[in-house]
Every structure is written in structure tokens, then in C-alpha cells.
Amino acid sequence: MSKRKSSVQHSTDGKRPAKREEYLYLVLDDWEKGYSVHKVDVDASQYCDADEAPEHFTEPPLVRFDVVHGNSHSIVAHGTKIVCMKPHQVSPAIPAFDTATSAVGILPWPEFRMDFGLPLLVSISGKLFLFIDSTYCLSDPPSTTTPCAQQPWVWNTVSSRLPFKVCCVLCWAVHPDKRTLFVPARRWTSDAECGTFSFDAERLEWTRHGNWLMPFDGEAHYVHELDAWVGLCRHKGGTGHLCCSDVVPVVAGRRTTLPRWKMIGRLFHKESPLHIGATLVYMGGTRFCIVESTWHKDDDDVRRKPNCPRSMCNVFKRPHGVPDTITDPLAFWI
């Protein structure tokens, strides 16, 4: 493996800029009250063969979120923060763990405190967007020179109406301009009522690009070296494969067609009876990490029972016999 990628923090005092190392953060619901965040050094990790028994983490979790199980879609990375958007309704605020400072901060609730199902949460253009039946935007508070005069975080309602139902979203990808989000969605009634849309995070406007669908499943990532989006394939016959596609041009009002795309290689077998879910994590450059959630080979009896505890075995050595409700395992490269 190549050396871990570092990001540069610019210095204003004339000293050499400091380098911040990046790590893989796994979010697991491995305790009875919520989720734990584990930090993984990818380059120093020991890998587990399929025939080996998975092992427990030797280090305790960095932090735990006391949240309701079964809502992994409500956890998102925003900058250096891992935000748990769905705490208990009695919680006074939304917890956010900052991987840079190891501090747990709080963010305000939006104007509602109800169950918002499976939202689309995306961090783009320095803002955190929550797409449900309406759109909400959380902007970073303005900086201040006075340490004690911290500005509050504020949720704002976006007036632009969603052109689709969030439950019909298939995948999403951020354009290389870093301000435009592409989202394909289809209706429950007919595949003919589908389309790919883009959202401008600065103008806060939606644009329809045609009645075609991007080929990805979940989040796709822009790779500068390839000038292409890369993600997990959604098309039948290509599930479990990586695929890449050309980037869709951002032209307001212009209808486009499905860009050129192709499958690259198989990473896992979605049809396997042991497979639960998978997430592709982009680590910069041309580096990716696939995190797969599977049943353990010895869990044949419990797999036949509904609502039973699941066992997980990822590309890293993982605990066995812990409860899990995450269909697509959560992992962030920060």
C-alpha cells in the first residue's frame, strides 16, 4: 500500500504548514443503546481471510452515540465532524463528533423534531443539506476573532421544491465544481417516470437533465486522475462491481443523455447468502476502500430468523456476534 494521504493546513504565522493525517472511521451499532465510532489505520491494519475467524477490536471506541437503532442513513460526515442526525427525541440537540479535536459538540435541531424516514444527507459547498419532503441547510457559523463570541449554528429552509421523493433516490454524486449535486430518482409507479436532477448548492435550484438514470448504487465519487465518477454498480448483472462514468456537464436547462460508463471489476458477490451490504469509501487520489457487512459463516441458524442479531466480518478484523442493523456499513475517510 502507498503511504497514507495527508492534507495540508495553511499557516498564517509564517511557520511550515502542519499536515493532518487521515483515517478510516467505522460507525457500528455494536452496543445495546446506539452506535460506536472506531478509528482504523488502514496502512497498519491486519486483513482477515474468509476462512479466518474475525477478531474483536483491541482498542476501545473513540466515542459512542446514544441513538435509536436502525437509522444509519441519518449519520453523515461534514468536514471533520461525524454528525448523528437522529438522536432520541428527548435529546436537546444533535451530537457531532469532531475527528480533528476528539470533541463531541452539539448542533441545533431543525424546525421539526419528527421522524423523517430515510433522508438524503449530503455535505457540499461547506454546507450540510438535509433532503426530505423539504430541503434544509445547515451552514457553518461565521468565524470571529473573539474566542468567546462564537456564532450559533442555524438551519435554514430552502424554498426550492424537491422534484422527486427522497425514498426514490438511487444514488448521488458531487460534480467536480464542488457545488453541484447530481441525484437520479425514479417513481414507485413506473420506471418511465424517472430522471436525473442536479442541485446547485449556491443558487439553491434544481435542474432536470433527462429521463435517464446514473448507473451507481449509493454515493459515487469524482476521481480527478480519471476525470470520472467512480462508485458501486447498480445495474442488474453488474452488482458487486465497480463502475465509472463520464461526468455530466452542468448546463442549466440543457437536457443530456446517459453518459458513457463501464464496469471495472467485481469487489463482492451481492447474491451471496452471507452478504448484507457494502459501502465504497474514497480515500483520495485513486485509492478506495470497500467495507462489506456479511453474516458470519457460523450464523446459518440465526440468519433464518427474522429480526435476529447479525454478525459482521469486514475487510478488517471485526467483532463477531454483535448486534447490527446497518444494511450498508458506515465508513468515512476523514
pLDDT in tens, 30-46: 888 889 999 988 877 66
Looking at residue 279, its pLDDT comes to 92
What pLDDT score does 73 carry? 81
Is 7 a member of any domain? no
Domain count of the chain? Answer: 1
> Which parts of the chain have pLDDT scores under 50?
1-13, 16-17, 305-325
In a domain, 12, yes or no: no
Q: Is residue 201 part of a domain?
A: yes
Calpha distance 184→271 (Å, rounded): 24
pTM summary value: 0.82
Q: How far is 163 from 183, CA to CA, in rounded Å?
A: 10
| Torsional sign, CA 24, 150, 129, 108 | positive
- Is 8 a domain residue? no
Beta bridge partners of 51: none
Q: What is the CATH number of the domain that holds 89?
A: 2.120.10.80
